[in-house]
Amino acid sequence: MIPIKNKEGIAGMREACRVAAAVLAKMRSLAVPGISTYDLDQEAKKLIEALGARSACFNYRTSRGQRAYPAYTCISMNEEVVHGIGTIKRILRPGDIVSLDVVVEYGGWIGDNATTVRIGPVPPAVERLLQVSEAALYHGIGFAKVGNRIGDISHAIQSFVEAEGFSVVRDMVGHGVGRSMHEEPQIPNFGRKGTGDKIRPGMTLAIEPMVNTGTHRIETLGDGWTVVTADGKPSAHFEHTVLTTETGPEILTIPAA
């Protein structure tokens, strides 16, 4: 069953997503040459706490056997796809791309968003990867309409990305989000039109294309978390939390002024 948020749930999600967006905006502004990924994560931690929220990533694990996630946000550089862990050893340099992923709990609700930033100018092929990945997110969101099915979002993202010659990660997916970080439904970035659950009003969906330059295949590093492309080529990641309404999708992680 996909949770449907009532008025109160929607208000709670709006607030949590406002906080998640504010933290992501702060990280984006700090992502300049010379800063370590550890310091970026620590700055995010400070702001999350100052805003009265909590990182939903810190200590997170998907199964009992998995190592608890040790950082407050996910910071993934270049060939890293998602779930990178900030470290003092990694310093941002011109030409890098860095995916920043912020998931916070605020007032019992969770907001989830991510973006990939350029550190100074990047090579043209990487620039195109970023443009296509971000556009794929908005293209997919456009299909999050009442009456459509989840597979319509999936198909829209996959066809958009592949038409540009890039690939979508298959082994990780977007997801419903609400009281917990991962709720039903799963939202793959690949799939067939007209399949999956029907979209109804009051769903809150984290739509998050992970787009690779080369192969869609990924591997997990020995730290148990950091996901990298199997071929070492760059990857990008963009994510918003979206509310479905009778009048169309509303992006909660772009707060109204």
- Rounded Cα gap, residues 191 and 187, in angstroms: 9
User: Is there binding between residue 136 and ligand MF3 (CB under 6 A)?
Assistant: no
Q: How far is the CB of 113 from Co ion (least distance, A)?
A: 8
- For residue 208, the number of C-alpha atoms closer than 13 Å in the C-beta half-sphere is 32
Which two tokens mark 192? Answer: 């067939």
Which CB sits closer to ligand MF3, 80 or 101? 101
Q: For residues 103 and 168, which CB has a smaller minimum distance to ligand MF3 in the complex?
A: 103
From the list 240, 173, 185, the residue with the least C-alpha distance to 210 is 173
Give CA angle at 103 (101, 105), nearest 5°: 165
The enclosing H or E element of 153 equals helix 150-163
| Residue closer to Co ion (CB basis): 229 or 241 | 241
**Considering beta carbons, is residue 87 or 146 the nearer one to ligand MF3?**
87
Residue of 14, 69, 109, 212 that binds ligand MF3 (CB under 6 A): 69
Minimum CB separation of residue 180 from Co ion in Å reads 12
Q: Distance (Å, rounded) from C-alpha 9 to C-alpha 201? A: 12
Q: Does 168 bind Co ion (CB under 5 A)?
A: no
> Rule CB under 6 A: is residue 83 a binding residue for ligand MF3?
yes
For strands 174-176 and 204-207, give the pairing.
antiparallel
Q: Is 206 in the site for Co ion (CB under 5 A)?
A: yes
Contacting residue, 10, 13, 57, 97, with ligand MF3 by CB under 6 A: 57
210 contacts ligand MF3 (rule: CB under 6 A): no
Taking phi first (over 0 means left), then psi (-120 to 50 degrees means alpha), and beta for anything else, what does residue 16 get? alpha
Is residue 230 a contact partner of residue 215, using CB atoms and an 8 Å limit?
A: yes
- Please report whether residue 112 would count as binding Co ion according to CB under 5 A: yes
Binding residues for ligand MF3 restricted to 96-125, rule: CB under 6 A: 101, 103, 112, 114
Q: Give the footprint of ligand MF3 on this chain (CB under 6 A).
A: 57, 60, 69, 74, 83, 101, 103, 112, 114, 175, 206, 239
